[in-house]
A and B are shown apart, each in its own frame.
Chain A
Amino acid sequence: MSETVARDSTSRALTLALVVAFVCGLLVSVVAVSLRPIQRANVEAERIAQLELVLTALSGIGRAQSIESLEQRMVELASGRFDDSIDGASFDAARAAASPATSVSIPEEQDLAGLRRRAKHAQVYLVRGDDERIDLIILPVSGRGYQSTLHAWLVMDGDTRTLRALKFYQHGETPGVGARIEEAQWEAQWQDLRAFDDAGVLRIGVRSPGGGYSDDAAYQVDGISGATRTMQGVDGMLRFWLGEFGYAAFLQRVREERP
């Protein structure tokens, strides 16, 4: 009987709870940290694989595209200029966005994607046609969704105004609801969607429920019902990255240099 009393004492319960919490916490941390390099390699491979899938689909039947065949460039986002002083092969966008030296903080009223900071540089890919004209511009984009950060490839036409594809390659949205952003049927809506009107005003977005008809309808896609917060995330992500704090300067430069 005395043993039961000792076992049920408050101090005993607290001690055991602390020990269990400490040991379990330690175990989880060690496993998570030691496996992270392999997991990151998996995500990176997935990211490349998704891009190759999109490009193969865009290039017409039978012409498989590999990432090696693309022109990889580093862009300084503020000026929109190419900056080849940074080595693209070792560039890590997530690390660059986290470090104060290689990133800038986003003013709150402009932070439509909910990112707080963004890297000063971005790694973009270009596909050139036979006459050296830029056919496709491939831009990495990200933004806050409902319960995770969405990462996607944004493929723009060489005219810098039309979307060719939007492909999400990493997210942690609710399966069956927000996670439907990966479905081919929904993704197909982005193909050949105009992002800017003829005056160059950014009008792209996700149609909001109950929004009724507006002039913007031609520049918007249908949202996924039940995934309102994810849709707001996708909408904000596109407006941010195509806006002036995102790739606007770069796109402007490409447009001007286009023959």
Chain B
Amino acid sequence: MSDNNWRILTRPLIDDNPLTLQILGICSALAVTTSLDTALLMSLVVVCVLALSGAVISLMRRQIPRSVRIIVQITVIATLVIVVDQLLQAYAFELSKRLSVFVGLIITNCIVLGRAEGYAMHNGVVASTLDGIGNGLGYSLILIMVGAIREFFGKGSLLNVQILVPTSQGGSFEPLQLMLLPPSAFFIIGGIIWLIRRRRPAQVEKPEFSLRDEREASK
């Protein structure tokens, strides 16, 4: 793989991560990360949809009239998502019940449309596919971290394998109920963003305005 392609694939992992830098796709990241297995399945689905939608839209990019481009992109994305959802209902019934509506909601995931409009419309098929996979993996990375943290501290298990014995079963581990509720995902994602920006100060956004005290202090 050429250096350039490698860069397209790996840049969205940390340097240009859709979740932590662009803050996209937060809704599903809250909803499907109460346990690691649903986070893994959701990650897989999003990577597939992003890769395929990148490839298809890039192939069509010279044909799509500008006036109807968004609706054409959404139609392609919706088709891919519905096909994947149908496959899940056939071959991963239990997990698809737990993901419920959130597979369908990938259609409205900002990352997918964002990559289609922002990248696949202007780049070749190989680059667009790699960009889709890269962004999918960047999303997955955060999802899996959040899912692992929430399942471990919320239930004392990972992938449904009990690691810490909860007090209700005679152990010494008190499950953190908060971890199973949506707000905890905000805290964890916020923590991850803070960690990344500590290491990569370039990602820190410039404040749009400064507070009065700071202005006066800098005088």
Chain A residues proximal to chain B, CB less than 8 Å? 7-9, 12-13, 16-17, 20-21, 24, 27-28, 31-32, 35, 38-39, 42, 46, 175, 179
Contact = CB atoms under 8 A, between A and B. Distances in A.
Contacts, number: 57
B101 A13 contact: no
25 contacts: A8-B67, A9-B65, A13-B65, A13-B67, A13-B68, A16-B65, A16-B68, A17-B68, A17-B71, A17-B72, A20-B75, A24-B75, A24-B79, A27-B79, A28-B79, A31-B83, A31-B86, A32-B86, A35-B89, A38-B91, A39-B89, A39-B90, A42-B89, A42-B93, A46-B93
Contact of A42 (B63, B68, B90): B90
A13 B65 CA distance: 6
Interface in B72-126: 72, 75-76, 78-79, 82-83, 86-87, 89-91, 93, 100-101
B87 A35 contact: yes
A16 B68 CA distance: 9
Nearest to A11: B65
B90 A35 contact: yes
A24 B78 CA distance: 9
A28 B83 contact: yes
B66 interface: yes
Given A16-B64, A42-B93, A46-B93, A175 B100 contact: yes
A179 to B, nearest CB: 7
A24 B76 contact: yes
Nearest to B92: A42
Nearest to A170: B97
A172 to B, nearest CB: 9
A175 B105 CA distance: 13
Contacts of A24: 75-76, 78-79
A8 B75 CA distance: 19
- CB-based closest 6 A-B pairs: A24-B79, A42-B93, A38-B90, A13-B65, A35-B90, A13-B68
B101 A16 contact: no
